[in-house]
Amino acid sequence: MSRKYVIAGNWKMNKNPAEAVALINELKPLVADAACDVVVAVPFVDLPAALEAVKGSKIGVAAQNCHWEKSGAFTGEISAEMLKSMGVGYVIIGHSERRTYFGDTDVTVQKRVRAALDAGLTVILCVGEYLEQREQGVTGEVCAMQTKIALGGVSADEMSRVIIAYEPVWAIGTGRTATARQADEVCALIRATLAGLYGRSVADSTVIQYGGSMNAANAAELLAQKDVDGGLIGGASLKPADFAAIVAAAK
Ligand code: PEP
């Protein structure tokens, strides 16, 4: 069983199109020899410029969300089909900021995953517990439940286009990283959940990332863990040298 590391940068609501091009141009030579897959998840308005800027490089482009309907009266929304039609390869779904601030639920996450897979996109599905849930000892239950609901109706074959990002909410944007052991424990538990749903072979070939204040200094230790197959990186992905250092640690 071999899994390729995937390092994805989540730019969140940062960078206009010109700034996105500048950042990608700075990043390109730094990750030219990457041993892992490299993805940047940019704001919707940056997608055309980012897709153009990554040409000739190994960098893939992701959106940060998508709607579950193909089209219709959903003012302000973007469909998975629209993303696919532009040449976007990946979409982040269920990020905790979407769940916390924009009302995403396990059910809407499931619908978005379904639409993204139907459109031919690769999904980066985020799951993770709140601090109170960790303190109550229910991290495993929370992450297993989020994973199971989000993947409801997803076939074993489709799992080759699903990446799971374990992102403890208390570690996102806080500078408080999960220990390597905590990250590995929950990634292993998510893998066991996948084994229950799809069998060992699918579980062993699914990429499971850790996300939450991963940076150039702590990436190597986190990425060395048996069940951690990459990272979803927020803040540090806006600094090309730091992001490249994380990419270099993924081998
Ligand atoms: C994220 O946005 O998914 C994330 C992990 O952010 P940060 O690295 O800043 O904690």
209 domain residue, yes or no: yes
CATH number at residue 28: 3.20.20.70
Residue 178 CB less than 6 A away from ligand 1 = no
pLDDT tens, position by position, 125-165: 999 999 999 999 999 999 999 999 999 999 999 999 999 99
11 domain residue, yes or no: yes
pLDDT tens, position by position, 168-225: 999 999 989 999 999 999 999 999 999 999 999 999 999 999 999 999 999 999 999 9
**Closest ligand 1 atom, CA of 97?**
2
20 domain residue, yes or no: yes
d(CA 190, CA 146): 10
User: Considering the chain, what is the average pLDDT of its residues?
Assistant: 97
State the distance between the two ends of the chain, measured CA to CA, in whole angstroms: 15
125 domain residue, yes or no: yes
- Residues with Cβ within 8 Å of residue 247, at least 6 apart in sequence: 7, 30, 31, 34, 36, 38
Question: What is the pTM assigned to this prediction?
Answer: 0.98
- Ligand 1 mutation target, pool 6, 7, 10, 100, most atoms within 8 A of CB: 10
In which band, very low, low, confident or very high, does the pLDDT at 2 lie, cut at 50, 70 and 90?
A: confident
Q: Can you give the pLDDT at residue 85?
A: 98
Residue 234 CB less than 6 A away from ligand 1 = yes
d(CA 238, CA 234): 7
Residue 127 CB less than 6 A away from ligand 1 = no
166 domain residue, yes or no: yes
Structural domains of the chain, count: 1
Residue with CA closest to ligand 1 atom 6: 234
1 domain residue, yes or no: no
pLDDT tens, position by position, 14-56: 999 999 999 999 999 999 999 999 999 999 999 999 999 999 9
Which residues does the annotation mark as catalytic? 95, 167
pLDDT tens, position by position, 230-246: 999 999 999 999 999 99
Q: Can you give the pLDDT at residue 1?
A: 58
18 domain residue, yes or no: yes
176 domain residue, yes or no: yes
For 203, the domain range is 6-249
Segment 63-83 mean pLDDT: 98
